[in-house]
Amino acid sequence: MERVIDRFIRYTKIHTTSDPKSNTFPSTARQHQFADLLVTELKEIGMHEVEKDKNGYVMATLPANTSESCPTIGFVAHMDTSPDFSGENVNPQIRKYKGGTIQLNDKVSIDPAQFPDIQNYIGQEIITTDGNTLLGADDKAGIAEIMTAMQYLIEHPEIRHGKIRVCFTPDEEIGKGADHFDVEKFGAKFAYTLDGGEIGELEYENFNAAMATITIKGRSVHPGAAKNKMINAIVVANKLLGMLPAEQRPEHTEKYEGFFHCVSFNGSVEEAKMIFIIRDHDMQKFEHKKALIKQLCQTLGLRYGADRVILDMKDQYYNMREKVEPVKYIVDLAEEAMKEVGVTPIKRAIRGGTDGSRLSYMGLPCPNIFAGGHNFHGPYEYVPTKSMIKAVEVIIRIAEKVVTLGNVS
């Protein structure tokens, strides 16, 4: 089990950040390089049918070691790290947490006042960054856990299990992780993403998600002669921002509360562009939020000209609950597995999305299981080593328990 730690540290040092501005798939060549390394390692531990396709997806099989009839299951994790913060030259630090503030460098620290969850791990060994990069537990912890669990099952043939498929995907962090996922080729009845946070997380609900790009076309006139002529695109864009309900911004929401989030705002007098992400677990509220964005653009269009306020809005993914609830036994199976290895399940809705949300709508029901990390996408990221070991145990226990399912429709 301790191998999961060495494996994870080795993976974190490999630069795999995805690039939302790229037109290639995967978005960065470095993800192909990591995929090649994983292919080699999967073969070395004894996995079968190991391959990387042209899009960078890595798939492999652990054949069944029992003649009992049971469904083929899968485990999925993603190879890329978030472009929100540097993932290059990661220098992981292992320490025993004794409480109090962890000083990562002269400028960055993990203070329990800001990150109270850290206090749950007093006395445990944790892995942090050095304050200059993210860590990459999202989702290299998941890859390390799946890899270690597969190796353990291969080395312990006395543990009965059915056929298991694994897949490591590119570009999850930029919303493209399932774009070229071949569900039919994967061939699993259901799967689990190892892409959750703290120990015990078990999730089968996520946001419905859309992205809205709003372009404001202004009219630039010399300010000395601008009266009744100039249309300042920056001012119009700010008007739109101010018309949205302030209480529905991310910094004011939690749990099942959705939001409007302006993730980008660039502009000049002549043109301004705003990018919003729109999120809600409830489909009706989600549709209302999209309708409000459309209405506000139309209102400003009536004032300044419809051709000056241009809206491009697209759905990104939907709440997996609709697809998972009909096969709820797969959530119950994971919950039981956690309890049996001494982990208290924490069932909550994801305030985000995973590959699993899209895969569920592609015909592969795919709840999400904890990988153990905290404070993803920034220098405050950390992962307790015990949480990673427990994730490995959960994977192994799920594999064992699937044998008891027999044929399932």
Residues serving a catalytic function are 80, 172
Taking alpha carbons only, the member of 130, 127, 99, 133 closest to residue 115 is 99
DSSP state of 219: B
Whether the CB-CB separation of 73 and 189 falls below 8 Å is answered with: yes
Q: CA gyration radius for the chain? A: 23
DSSP string, 28-93: -HHHHHHHHHHHHHHHHHT-EEEEE-TTS-EEEEE--S--S----EEEEEE--B-TTS--SS---E
Whether the CB-CB separation of 296 and 308 falls below 8 Å is answered with: no
Provide the token pair at 227: 């009266």
**Largest Cα–Cα separation, the chain:** 85
Beta strand 271-280 with 201-203 is unpaired
Whether the CB-CB separation of 110 and 225 falls below 8 Å is answered with: no
DSSP three-state, residue 316: strand
Whether the CB-CB separation of 379 and 85 falls below 8 Å is answered with: yes
Beta strand 201-203 with 346-347 is parallel
H or E stretch including 339? helix 329-340
